[in-house]
Amino acid sequence: MKKLLYFIAVVLLSVSSLRAQDTKGTDFWLTFGNNRGNSYTVVDLQMRIVNGGMNNTVSIVFTESGATDTYPLAPQEIKTIELLSGQKQAVYNVTQGESSKSIHITTEHPVTVYALNQANVTTDASNILPVTALGTEYYHISYFPQSGLLDAYAVIATENNTKIFHNGSEVAMLDVGKVYYHTAPLSTDMTGAHITANYPIAFFALCQGVYIPVGYTFSDHLFQQLAPVKTWGKEFFVPTSNLGKDIVRIVASENDTNIDQLGGTMLYPTGGQTGYTINAGEFIELEISLANNGCYIEADKPIGVCTYLTSSGYNPSGGSDPSQGWLPAIEQSITNALIAPFIPNGDTRIDSHYAIVMTPTGTETNTEVSIGGGAPGSVSGGIWRSNSDAIMSFYIMPLDDPDASYYFTNDAGIIVMCYGIGPNESYYYLAGSSMRNLSAAFSANDVPYTEMADTLFCVNEITFTTNISNIAEVDSMKWYKQKTSGNTPDLDYILITDIVEDPPVTWTRTFRAGNYMIKLEVYHNGDPEPLVYEGELCVGAHITIYPTPNDGGMTKPTTGCYKVGTQLPMEAYPY
């Protein structure tokens, strides 16, 4: 197994992409699932909205009734919204089928949104993804349900006329805000079910109750919004909670996916291998331990990973129950994350809250946290644990102030998870990461097309590479370019006719300084309508600036790379 040696590239990609999607946003959809057979009358459903540094306004719309609540948000404010009885009934899914049981959350400025579904000794929480991070393809990741309860998921449509497909069969047609709640037959684990749609959807894993692992007592329901396949990656670092042992599930998105792992113990399939090959929708289950400082996972094709807290009798310290957290790939690191702990108001045993902060080894001291808008300082209350296989470190920090926001920063890149525990009760969720599209259809000098506009190319020779899953099913491709700057910009796209390879996997061309639009049309599996991918290419001009003489002497000229249209000093001359 090769070690991960490109942290610098990953970090630069995360930092330089100003438009990259992450878990913050201004537009969210939310629904809740059956919590271990409890009625909506006894569950505690709440949302936590964590505001940044600006005055803000949040609007909450209940799709079923159309009722709207609006709240002002002060800088750094945490807004906890406890749903009332009628509101809970309007968002709590119990029966398979279509409904309007959703909430639409919008704000003026970016926030992070989290949700909690809690009843006596059965709790879980989830981050809520903004619409910009949603997609059209998902795989369900869950766990084997306990006797008498059902594995389940829910999808929410973000556009009218959204068709929902389960393993290729159409199961629903939804308009915007409508929900499709799907339950499996008794004793059926739907992990690996392939859920697709013609428009972006929000997808929630909502198993009604599980023992983790099977055979141990004390159960909880699972509640986690899952990320679309386009955000899945190939390299993962899995940290461990302070409970001693956690469980991990890995699901493949493509056939013949080769997976290697270091630091985990294979539970399914049995055999103790470090490597395994699985097909789309199949999964591997691992045990990871605090003693090994987590686990490193590498695959040759995109995979989805969830990590789980376990039933009380399984881990050495006890004091938890099953809960599920989505784990992003290392490529999804960000430079900051704004979070807040959950404080259940119902009959709860949760009494401790933690953040797990991950960062490349060697950059730990760059990690700072601001609590409640205060001055940033070092993380505290724990120790840094390093994993030499992943070249990653993690820190488990207690979140002792339930009323404060926690703002973590590290320019080298971080991913943050959160969990809470108590006797026979717990929650676990992704707190902050990027949600970039890692399945870009093409790249320019290894920069994904979705991020070309945020990258200044300071070389003139550009190599374009296709990066499309199932390329064997591609019938043909067409490439176009359009110069959008200069004295004689192109009025429309121009077909590049001299790319003769069909399909053209890689091609190289020399561009003069300027701004261009590049378009790729992919004709796929006999479909007469192509898939279209467009990106803006910005090729910089090399300019030498000769400063005005100072105090009778000449100052050394400097040469830089500038985007066409940049305002330069009068003394700047091209060379």
| pLDDT at position 306 | 98
Distance separating alpha carbons of residues 513 and 562, to the nearest angstrom: 9
| pLDDT at position 487 | 78
| pLDDT at position 241 | 96
| pLDDT at position 3 | 42
| pLDDT at position 556 | 67
Pairing verdict, β 264-268 and 245-252: unpaired
| pLDDT at position 20 | 45
| pLDDT at position 5 | 33
Residues in the chain predicted with pLDDT less than 70, given as ranges, are: 1-20, 271-272, 318, 440, 469-473, 500-504, 525, 546-556, 568-575
**Residue 477: CA atoms inside 13 Å, Cβ hemisphere, count?**
26
Distance separating alpha carbons of residues 325 and 356, to the nearest angstrom: 12
Phi, psi of 302 (to 5 degrees): -60, 135
| pLDDT at position 282 | 97
Q: Sign of torsion, CA 400 405 411 413?
A: positive
Phi, psi of 347 (to 5 degrees): -80, 95
| pLDDT at position 376 | 96
| pLDDT at position 348 | 86
Centre a 10 Å sphere on the Cβ of residue 74 and count the other Cβ atoms it contains: 12
| pLDDT at position 266 | 92
CA proximity to 364, closest of 37, 7, 2, 49: 7
Residues 6+ apart with CB under 8 A from 487: none
| pLDDT at position 570 | 52
| pLDDT at position 22 | 85
Kindly list the domain boundaries of the chain, sorted by start residue.
18-432, 442-539
Amino acid at 426: S
Amino acid at 160: N
- Encode pLDDT of 89-144 as tens digits: 999 999 999 999 999 999 999 999 999 999 988 999 999 999 999 999 999 999 99
| Cross-strand bridge partners of residue 183 | 152
| pLDDT at position 88 | 97
| pLDDT at position 7 | 32
- Encode pLDDT of 149-178 as tens digits: 999 999 999 999 999 999 999 999 999 999
Q: Which CATH architecture has domain 442-539?
A: Sandwich (2.60)
